[in-house]
Structure 1
């Protein structure tokens, strides 16, 4: 039984190696006879999740205009795949099927890939404790952008203020894959912040409860938001805009006389008299 398993393993490795060699040879031949205005570049033959090893069967070669080849592109499988005994490169971010490989998207041979590689220059990763209510019901996923709202105080002194806007979510619990689109209740959300924003966020977590506000894809401009207090929403009157039409009821007196009467207060409590 063990011998059979060993033979199957050796066969699988041999087939995988053969597929890589065939692909490499096809790439060499196509480049030798290709139009000089076209370059054959290495791309993902299938989806490659964040942190996954770059393997031969996951790669393909596609045509690309020579005058628009991005910096850091790979034109040879040998530059992407490891030699015998060398650890593979890994995806620094999720790669879609058909996406060309760039040096900025994959690690060096044997390099460890962590969430740090997804951070912008001089930025930090910081975790926020959330639950179903404060984490937008679990609909926040890696790659989303959120505003962070601090709620602080008790009773009449209760207030809320947006402390950070347009903050990128880079992880939900232990998941950093931006292709995840299934909602789930999280306990922590990790966000990307500047050093100054990180200090503000650390203080805010101690001062009160933080909630996430999931942003629309179409927000063009952020504006400073003032804090709002409980007294601001406990109004004596309902928040109807000035000049808005008032509800009316029609009152019929007799068989022909019909009058329209504006309703004061709650229309549900209005009475009609004949």
Structure 2
């Protein structure tokens, strides 16, 4: 009886062992996941830089997750300029590269059909240094009051003339990875040719200021502009009303004339009382 049970356990062990061997062999026969070699950054590279041979390298990448526009040939990347910064180990894709033949520097960052124009700023105009590359700003112009001679005078005006303008660079820096404010004396903006003309005229008309706006806010800020009269709550061209002086508006003889115009019955009644003080008596009337 005991030998029979031992043989049964031995047979079961052999069957389970054989099943394990078959499963392991089947798993080992599965094809290995395919991979390809793509170009990645060998070091941190900033935007606007021209790629050198030591800045890129080939790295193994799963074939099923190759990013769109991945580069497979390192020789094709020689001399190409980045329009977006890449960190070490990140794939160098076509979307991060400026068109072939583009020179390095700020010109590689300007979108097709756009222009770059630089305006002078200070710590106040430059939003205390928070207008950094990659931010969007509105352009505000202040035009002082002018006297047009026979045509009258124009009141001082503050008006937003351009909206959602991209900041390309501050001073000579185009890096967009820093979030610390930097007070500089010049800001370079990306504009259309028409906006460049408006901005050039606006800075000759008055003083420019930058208005920092939310990165993802596309809503326009259409306003009629602010004038001295609108800020102070006055009508257009109206002078503030003088305080009312009742003493000046009411003639001095008005109380006497008003009393004379009233009928006798309308005169107020008088109340009299007798006052006795020892041996003396008097009469007082109110």
Q: 1:96 to 1:206 in 2, by over 3 A?
A: same
Query: TM-score, normalising length from structure 2?
Result: 0.59
Question: 1:167 and 2:165 equivalent?
Answer: yes
Q: 1:52 to 1:179 in 2, by over 3 A?
A: farther
1:207-262 alpha-carbon deviations (Å, 9 max, x no partner) = 001100111134242142221112222248xxxxxxxxxxxxxxxxxxxxxxxxxx
Shift of 1:162: 0.5
Q: 1:68 to 1:221 in 2, by over 3 A?
A: farther
Q: State whether residues 39 and 56 of structure 2, in contact with CA within 8 Å, keep that contact through their aligned partners in structure 1.
A: no
1:23-69 alpha-carbon deviations (Å, 9 max, x no partner) = xxxxxxxxxx9734x54322224421121543436545252554764
Q: State whether residues 136 and 212 of structure 1, in contact with CA within 8 Å, keep that contact through their aligned partners in structure 2.
A: yes
Q: Distance in 1 between matches of 2:94 and 2:83?
A: 10
Alignment partner for residue 93 of structure 2, among 97, 102, 108?
Answer: 102
Q: State whether residues 67 and 93 of structure 2, in contact with CA within 8 Å, keep that contact through their aligned partners in structure 1.
A: no
Q: 1:227 to 1:105 in 2, by over 3 A?
A: same
The count of residues paired between Structure 1 and Structure 2 equals: 196
Gaps of 5+ in 1: 1-32, 83-87, 237-274
Q: Between Structure 1 and Structure 2, whose CA radius of gyration is higher?
A: 2
Alignment partner for residue 37 of structure 2, among 37, 40, 46?
Answer: 40
Q: How does 1:188-203 map to 2 (within 5 A)?
A: 188-203=186-201
Q: How does 1:252-271 map to 2 (within 5 A)?
A: none
Query: TM-score, normalising length from structure 1?
Result: 0.62
Query: Partner of 2:61 in structure 1?
Result: 63
Alignment partner for residue 113 of structure 2, among 122, 132, 144?
Answer: 122
Shift of 1:153: 1.0
Q: What is the DSSP-based 3-state SS (H/G/I as helix, E as strand, rest coil) of the residue aligned with 1:126? A: strand
Q: Distance in 2 between matches of 1:174 and 1:59?
A: 29
Q: State whether residues 134 and 211 of structure 1, in contact with CA within 8 Å, keep that contact through their aligned partners in structure 2.
A: yes
Q: How does 1:96-245 map to 2 (within 5 A)?
A: 96-106=87-97, 112-154=103-145, 157-235=155-233
1:113-146 alpha-carbon deviations (Å, 9 max, x no partner) = 0211111111100111111111101111111110
Q: Distance in 2 between matches of 1:101 and 1:227?
A: 46
- RMSD, aligned α-carbons: 2.9
Q: State whether residues 148 and 212 of structure 1, in contact with CA within 8 Å, keep that contact through their aligned partners in structure 2.
A: yes
Gaps of 5+ in 2: 1-30, 147-153, 235-286
Query: Partner of 1:252 in structure 2?
Result: none
Q: 1:69 to 1:55 in 2, by over 3 A?
A: same
Q: State whether residues 160 and 229 of structure 1, in contact with CA within 8 Å, keep that contact through their aligned partners in structure 2.
A: yes
Query: Partner of 1:92 in structure 2?
Result: 83
Q: 1:90 to 1:196 in 2, by over 3 A?
A: closer
